[in-house]
Amino acid sequence: MRTGFDNDKYISLQAEHIRERIELFGGKLYLEFGGKLFDDYHASRVLPGFAPDTKIRMLQSLVDDVEIVIVINANDIERSKVRGDLGITYAEDVLRLMDTFRGMGFMVGSVVITRYTGQPDADAFRKRLTSMGITSYLHYPIAGYPSDIDHIVSDEGYGKNDYIETSRPLVVVTAPGPGSGKMATCLSQLYHENKRGVTAGYAKYETFPIWNLPLTHPVNIAYEAATADLDDDNIIDPFHLEAYGETTVNYNRDVEIYPVLKAMMERISGESPYRSPTDMGVNMAGMAISDDEACRDAAKMEIVRRYFQTAVEVRRSGQGERDLEKIEILMNQAGVTPNYSPARSAALLKEEMTGAPAGAMVLPDGSVVTGKTGNLLGAASALLMNALKGVSGVDDELYVISDDVLEPICHLKTEHLKSQNPRLHSDETLLALSISSVNDPMAERLVDNIDKLRGCDAFFSVIISATDEKLYRTLGINICCEPKYESHRYYHK
């Protein structure tokens, strides 16, 4: 797999750029942090070489100057909103984020509950924070937001919000997910700081879209595909073009809110240092691309992944057809088709030859291996075993796990656990492989090479089970499935 991104260069450039922005505002900066601070797997997929924890590692180079504020929308607490990638509520993710940040040496100053109107679950969550010794603050809905500038920038608007006590020059404002109120929290703080005679500034850190890549660059198109359900569209920043005669890319929501944001900053501080939405950003990712072609190829593959993920969601839920149509348009813009990955044609051919669900995977050296449904192993399990053989240099025809190990597990599933499917899921297969590795050097060799599958692309001819999907994602394998089920049933799990 070709590397297209210089991670070390990015960390150095990004940290220096943030330091410069802190100095621009006299030593105090509220930095709205969009996207994921760590485990940013989208960035690592479209910018090969970008580590999922790159952004948090960059902040670690500034750790003595950083204070983190976590923001959560009271309405998200009330409806128990869940992070789709982790399967936990936003409220639980606040605690997870705090543990992670503190474990990495960061100061987590407080939690802000935004859009608070007395929601009972928000009250309960705040009491829980207090019992843990965590400082929390309340911010409220503001009538006329965001158009009524006079009311917003007043004691009845931002002035009604709690003032967040901070002590460090760089205040990173982050959240479990979008719509939490990060920008409003930053601007509210600017208002309060100004009232106290403290000079402070605001900046925004979002990796995508990358402002100095063309609008039609696959990396930027991949961002649109990833956010198809949010109605985010990449557009040319008209304010930047007018101010500097330079074409840059931003997304529609930032461009739409910019005039209001500029007016707010002028009302708070007397003037705005920014002449465009692009000016507000501090992202230097585009400066660290070392192989543009590698990033283009990776981004095209990501667009196709998003297509199949959305197609599967439409099949499962009956919703999302508009999102799928948008991604189809984006695929055309990027010049790719559903067959962009060779794994798809290989999996579909294997299914046609065997008459049963099958899978295929592109290994790090570019070769493609397949897996078929058998008597003891499902397609996901068979593919995983064949892929491990491929990266371990083991003959595909060799049986690494004997039937003497597999059959008792299948018997346990059907006779005692009352499963209708005797075949082993991929997690059960890995356990069987691990047991075999105690006495079998070949099995041990496969176990030792599991990490070599991280970043590989797998395709299945049917929608695989949630158990298999979870195991593959845990291993860092990218998954696509044909949007159809193995059998015609109304309930699938």
Q: Please, what sign has the CA dihedral across residues 470, 474, 475, 478?
A: positive
Helix and strand numbers (H, E) in the chain are 20, 14
Rounded to whole angstroms, what are the CA distances from 280 to 64, 104, 248, 397, 472? 24, 28, 13, 58, 38
Q: Please, what sign has the CA dihedral across residues 387, 339, 40, 283?
A: positive
> Of 443, 375, 380, 379, which Cα lies nearest the Cα of 406?
375
Element (H, E) at 371: strand 368-372
Q: What is the pTM of this model?
A: 0.90
One digit per residue, the tens of pLDDT, for the chain of length 493 reads: 689 999 999 999 999 999 999 999 999 999 999 877 877 889 999 999 999 999 999 999 999 999 999 999 999 999 999 886 677 999 999 999 999 999 999 999 999 999 999 999 999 999 999 999 999 999 999 999 888 999 999 999 999 999 999 999 999 999 998 889 999 999 999 999 999 999 999 999 989 999 999 999 999 999 999 989 887 899 999 999 999 999 999 989 889 989 988 998 899 988 899 999 999 999 999 999 999 999 999 999 999 999 999 999 999 999 999 999 999 999 999 999 999 999 999 999 999 999 999 999 999 999 999 999 998 899 999 999 999 999 999 998 888 888 788 888 877 877 777 777 778 899 999 999 998 998 899 999 999 999 999 999 999 999 999 999 999 999 999 999 999 998 766 555 5
Contact 69, 106 (CB under 8 A): no
C-alpha to C-alpha distance for 151 and 116, rounded to whole angstroms: 18
Q: Where are the domains of the chain?
A: 7-221+230-288, 342-481
Asked if omega into 209 is within 30° of 0 (cis), the reply is yes
> Of 410, 459, 396, 399, which Cα lies nearest the Cα of 433?
399
Element (H, E) at 298: helix 292-317
Cβ atoms within 10 Å of 456's Cβ, excluding its own: 21
Contact 76, 179 (CB under 8 A): yes
Q: Please, what sign has the CA dihedral across residues 367, 468, 52, 286?
A: positive
Q: Would the CATH topology of 7-221+230-288 be identical to that of 342-481?
A: no
Instruction: Provide the token pair at 475.
Output: 């291993």
C-alpha to C-alpha distance for 153 and 268, rounded to whole angstroms: 7
Q: Which CATH number does 342-481 carry?
A: 3.40.140.40
Q: Which CATH number does 7-221+230-288 carry?
A: 3.10.630.10
Beta strands 478-481 and 66-73: pairing type?
unpaired
